């Protein structure tokens, strides 16, 4: 059930900064993981859908997405699950890292860096609105959850990437990272917010010809209206739990998504 409009939707835009870091999906070789381990941390879906940008902003009906209201692996008609090396060639992305149960999809990362990622077969488009409800376990700082839009066909002359909810080594923060160039000191614009990611939160991105805006629990927190920062290709949804090893032991960690919804 959609939540009612709240005053949180009127919060000011988070401050933007420029920096130089990011993560890109990878699609290759398989690696094993015990499905029981992937299922062990599955929790029941959130009792409500929380405050949503879609409701606050009046985005209208859902046109695509996944409610994860089934059990087993992610729906193959909706998702292409990664099967190969992890981010930057570190660890493995295995289909066995995913499990759908209790109304959520869980992606688990183990102590050896076997984790998962998947990309949507739906809504490959230029412009649109995406919203997702996500939480994590009390994760290891070496596991970075990210919900992002990635270029169709894995090709973009400007290395476009819209990370509309990205965790880093600082587990107390969530970031919005818009990649708009392949190199240089200012290749992305960013915002960050201190939140408890172990609780359910709603993350959204609105991409129009006027610019790109981000929402956290219905509240505007990112905006970039520079025409030069617009992706020049169509994009699609991906979900990843990426491993960034630092040489210390890794604690198994999880990321859960309650739903992903796309609007025109």
Rounded-to-integer distance, Cα 2 and Cα 122, Å: 22
Which position has the token pair 């408890």? 196
Q: Is 122 exposed, middle or buried (0-12, 13-18, 19+ CB in 10 A)?
A: middle
- Answer whether 130's CB lies under 8 Å from 124's CB: no
Mean of per-residue pLDDT scores for the chain: 86
For residue 116, what are the contacts with CB-CB under 8 A and spacing of at least 6?
Answer: 81, 82, 93, 94, 95, 96, 97, 98, 107, 108, 109, 240, 241
| pLDDT beyond 60 at 222 | yes
Q: Residue 46's CB: how many other CB atoms inside 10 A?
A: 18
Q: What is the pLDDT of residue 185?
A: 82
Q: Give the start-to-end residue ranges of the domains of the chain.
A: 49-263
Could you please state the CATH topology (level 3) that the domain comprising 49-263 is classified under. Answer: Jelly Rolls (2.60.120)
* Rounded to 5°, angle at Cα 216 from 117 and 263: 70
pTM of the model: 0.83
Tens digits of residue pLDDT in 100-130? 999 999 999 999 999 999 999 999 999 999 9
How many H helices and E strands in the chain?
2, 19
């Amino acid at each position: 059930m959609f939540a009612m409009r709240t005053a949180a939707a009127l919060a000011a835009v988070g401050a933007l900064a420029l920096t130089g870091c990011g993560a890109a999906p990878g699609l290759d070789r398989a690696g094993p993981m015990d499905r029981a381990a992937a299922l062990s941390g599955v929790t029941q879906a959130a009792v409500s859908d929380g405050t949503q940008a879609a409701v606050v902003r009046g985005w209208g009906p859902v046109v695509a997405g996944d409610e994860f209201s089934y059990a087993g692996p992610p729906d193959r008609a909706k998702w292409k699950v990664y099967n190969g090396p992890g981010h930057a060639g570190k660890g493995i992305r295995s289909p066995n890292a995913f499990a759908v149960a209790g109304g959520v999809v869980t992606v688990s990362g183990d102590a050896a860096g076997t984790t998962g990622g998947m990309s949507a077969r739906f809504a490959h488009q230029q412009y649109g609105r995406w919203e997702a409800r996500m939480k994590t376990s009390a994760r290891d700082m070496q596991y970075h959850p990210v919900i992002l839009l990635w270029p169709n066909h894995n090709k973009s002359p400007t290395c476009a990437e819209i990370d509309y909810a990205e965790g880093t080594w600082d587990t107390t923060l969530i970031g919005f990272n818009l990649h708009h160039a392949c190199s240089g000191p200012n290749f992305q614009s960013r915002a960050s917010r201190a939140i408890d990611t172990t609780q359910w939160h709603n993350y959204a991105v609105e991409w129009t010809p006027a610019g790109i805006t981000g929402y956290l629990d219905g509240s505007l927190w990112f905006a970039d209206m520079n025409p030069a920062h617009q992706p020049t290709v169509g994009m699609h949804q991906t979900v990843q739990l990426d491993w960034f090893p630092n040489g210390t032991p890794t604690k198994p960690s999880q990321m859960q998504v309650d739903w992903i919804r796309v609007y025109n």
